[in-house]
């Protein structure tokens, strides 16, 4: 399916001018159906202003996500959910600082400030999210020695969270991904979703990135290569 920008590019501005705006909108908008689900990634206090791993402008995703969520019958949310002393915390590695990397048995690991410790206020979903119809909250990163950016697979690349099987048993085929942070948990989720065979859209203005050493540009490039579609919230038809 073409997104609106691709259609605009294909039509060119001359042809576009002859189209009624309503006709164009109807042709271009992506309408979520029963086989579509919105994945809301890690919109938790630790990643919001004032949190221990605050993503710049992270709070700006909340109203956008609340708005597009109205267009979805199926919504799944995720929660980063670490043990105290989790392996991804810089504080447990002597001499290491946040945003440095270390080599772990499963590969390179970025080290973070302590965040999203199980049961703490920082790990709670934002109270400003308004998605009462959300069906599932999946927690990830709860194994002390393995991180999990992705909602599908832990960072060892093989331990599954069960999400792909859940979505497939619910006959979901198209996934729309939003939340925090674009270049880590959103991107890894989108990439694993492609590997699991889903059609995947990342809603750019419903995400914000951390951008550690070029990670944001790399994440978009990796997602494009994997066939992830990059869209804006305005591309999604919200009303019935």
Residues annotated as catalytic (active site), given as ranges: 42, 140, 185
Q: Which is nearer to Zn ion, 80 or 154 (CB)?
A: 80
| Cβ-closest position to Zn ion | 80
Angle between helices 187-195 and 215-225 (to 10 degrees): 20
- Applying CB under 5 A, the span of 77-85, 102-110, 131-139, 204-212 interacting with Zn ion comes to 77-85
**Interacting positions 136-165 with Zn ion (CB under 5 A):** 141
Query: Could you tell me which stretch among 13-21, 78-86, 100-108, 160-168 binds Zn ion (CB under 5 A)?
Result: 78-86
Taking the complex as a whole, the smallest distance from the CB of residue 195 to Zn ion amounts, in Å, to: 21
Q: Binders of Zn ion among 198-227, rule CB under 5 A?
A: none
CB atoms within 10 A of CB 55: 26
Q: Which is nearer to Zn ion, 110 or 223 (CB)?
A: 110
The nearest distance, CB 234 to Zn ion, in angstroms, is 30
Q: What are phi and psi of 132, to 5 degrees?
A: -60, -25
- Torsion angles phi and psi, residue 97, rounded to 5: -115, 155
Q: How far is the CB of 149 from Zn ion (least distance, A)?
A: 7
Q: Say which residue the tokens 């979520």 belong to.
A: 32
Rounded Cα gap, residues 105 and 30, in angstroms: 42
Q: Which is nearer to Zn ion, 28 or 186 (CB)?
A: 186
Nearest to 203 by CA among 168, 171, 240, 175: 175
* Buried b or exposed e, range 177-198, using 16+ CB within 10 angstroms: bbbbbbbbbbbbbbbbbbebeb
| Position 42 contacts Zn ion (CB under 5 A) | no
Q: Which of 59, 80, 192, 204 binds Zn ion (CB under 5 A)?
A: 80
- Least distance from Zn ion to the Cβ atom of residue 115, Å: 6
- Closest to 83 in 3D by CA, of 130, 39, 147: 147
Contact 201, 177 (CB under 8 A): yes
The CB-of-116 to Zn ion minimum distance in angstroms stands at 5
Q: Which stretch binds Zn ion (CB under 5 A): 80-88, 153-161, 165-173, 198-206?
A: 80-88
Q: Enumerate binding residues for Zn ion (CB under 5 A).
A: 80, 141
């Amino acid at each position: 399916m073409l997104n609106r920008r691709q259609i605009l590019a294909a039509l060119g501005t001359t042809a576009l001018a002859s189209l009624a705006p309503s006709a164009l909108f109807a042709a271009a908008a992506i309408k979520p159906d029963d086989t579509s689900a919105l994945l809301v990634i890690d919109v938790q206090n630790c990643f919001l202003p004032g949190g221990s791993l605050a993503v710049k402008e992270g709070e700006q995703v909340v109203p956008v996500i609340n708005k597009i969520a109205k267009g979805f019958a199926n919504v799944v949310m995720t929660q980063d959910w670490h043990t105290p002393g989790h392996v991804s915390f810089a504080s447990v590695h002597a001499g290491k600082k946040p945003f440095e990397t270390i080599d772990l048995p499963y590969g390179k690991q970025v080290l973070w400030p302590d965040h999203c410790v199980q049961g703490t206020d920082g790990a709670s979903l934002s109270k400003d999210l308004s998605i009462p119809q959300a069906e599932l909250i999946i927690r990830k990163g709860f194994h002390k020695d393995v991180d999990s950016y992705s909602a599908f697979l832990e960072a060892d690349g093989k331990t599954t969270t069960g999400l792909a099987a859940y979505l497939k048993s619910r006959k979901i085929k198209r996934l729309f991904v939003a939340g925090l942070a674009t270049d880590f948990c959103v991107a890894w989720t989108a990439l694993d979703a492609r590997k699991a065979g889903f059609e995947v859209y990342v809603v750019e203005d419903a995400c914000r990135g951390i951008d550690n050493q070029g990670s944001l540009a790399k994440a978009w490039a990796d997602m494009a290569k994997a066939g992830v579609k990059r869209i804006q919230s305005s591309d999604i038809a919200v009303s019935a």
